[in-house]
Amino acid sequence: MKNLWPKIFPAFYGFIIYGTLRVVNDTMGKGFKFWERPLYVNIIEIFGVILVGYLFTSIIKRQERKYFINDASEITLKRFSKELLNVIGVALLVVNCTIIPMAAVTDDGLSLSDFVQINIIPTLYIVLYFTIRRGNFYVQAFVQSKIKLQQIENDRLNSELNFLKEQFSPHFLFNGLNNIYFQMDQSVPEAKKSVEKLSELLRYSLYQDQQKLVDIAKEIEFIKLYSEVHKVRKDDRMQLRMDLKEIKGKIYPHLLIPLVENAFKYVEGSKPLIEMKLSKEDDHLKFSISNSKRQIEKVKDENNGIGLTNLKRRLELLYKNEHELYITNNKESFEATLMLPIQ
């Protein structure tokens, strides 16, 4: 039926025009009804108007080929008006070459009211048909344009996220290898264990899709394993306090580890300390981490290293306005708190 409708629609369209003309004409008080006339006259008129229906629809399709295939310019009111006037002009020409002559030789001839009705009614129908088709075309073109723009934007975001991931991985690897290098002077067997742990970390970080959600439990495991690898190089006096509660849900990967990495990189002081806490508040994950550092008189601006800069940009891309990141750089400590919605 779907394939048949385009073929029979012009006939249906022409029959509607004919029915409208007859209803309007036979209510004007001329004293006759169309069903009271000879049958062959009605048949001739019906077939004639059906033919006009096919002509009208072909005119519309020709206009579409002319303006939307050969001409890809921007849609404007001037362009639309030009199309509409062309359609009306051709429609009046068709009406006056087909329906008007038929009306002149049937019934009591062609009166002024007949002439006006026959020109106005079919023209109004073709304008309606033209407007519906063109409106549908514009809506579809607008939707397709929005889809295309969204796809372009998604591709751009994917490219940027991949670029950020490529920055993150070498940075992550460098810090891990640097720790193992110094560990080899103390204990080769322990360094080998660290290499194994580092390989697990890299496997997770390299093959995790940046735009696919992961279980929070996996990110917690990643943080614990990372802490084991990097703690071995630090001063024996360094304390590591971890309160990572098990939370069900999903977040985007590798958004917590830059804060952990930053803490291990800069932890210093007479009593080195790293504290991290993971909890759930309402429907959000709250990750807080702090590290001690050397006491200095002048506090520099918030750390602008590649890790935190990379993190801030990824948060903007993945969570937009749904996240919160607070960073406090004090004289004796560096503190960061990240809030993320749990999926």
pLDDT tens for 136-153 read 777 777 787 777 777 766
Predicted local distance difference test score (pLDDT) of residue 174 = 65
The parent domain of residue 78 ranges over 5-150
What integer is the mean pLDDT of 41-46? 75
Predicted local distance difference test score (pLDDT) of residue 336 = 94
The pLDDT of residue 164 is above 60: no
Do residue 72 and residue 202 come from a single domain?
Answer: no
For residue 116, being part of any structural domain is answered with yes
Do residue 189 and residue 317 come from a single domain?
Answer: yes
Predicted local distance difference test score (pLDDT) of residue 4 = 74
Do residue 105 and residue 192 come from a single domain?
Answer: no
**Integer Cα distance of 238 and 270 in angstroms:** 9
Q: How many domains does the chain have?
A: 2
Do residue 328 and residue 190 come from a single domain?
Answer: yes
Predicted local distance difference test score (pLDDT) of residue 36 = 65
Q: What percent of the chain has pLDDT above 90?
A: 13
Predicted local distance difference test score (pLDDT) of residue 155 = 61
Indicate the pLDDT class of residue 288, thresholds 50, 70 and 90: very high
Do residue 222 and residue 330 come from a single domain?
Answer: yes
**What CATH number should be reported for the domain holding residue 264?**
3.30.565.10
264-270 contact pairs (CB < 8 A, 24+): 264/175, 264/227, 264/230, 264/231, 264/234, 264/291, 265/175, 265/307, 266/291, 266/293, 266/303, 266/334, 267/234, 267/238, 267/291, 267/292, 267/293, 268/292, 268/293, 268/294, 269/293, 269/294, 269/295, 269/332
Give buried/exposed letters for 162-199 (b at 16+ CB in 10 A, else e): eebbeebeebbeebbeebbeebeeeeeeebebbeebbe
Indicate the pTM of the whole model.
0.52
Indicate the pLDDT class of residue 290, thresholds 50, 70 and 90: very high
What phi and psi, each to the nearest 5 degrees, are found at residue 239?
A: -105, 140
For residue 35, being part of any structural domain is answered with yes
Predicted local distance difference test score (pLDDT) of residue 72 = 47
> When comparing pLDDT for 171 and 217, which is higher?
217
Do residue 136 and residue 254 come from a single domain?
Answer: no
Report the chain's mean pLDDT, rounded to a whole number.
76
Do residue 140 and residue 200 come from a single domain?
Answer: no
Do residue 189 and residue 336 come from a single domain?
Answer: yes
Do residue 292 and residue 213 come from a single domain?
Answer: yes
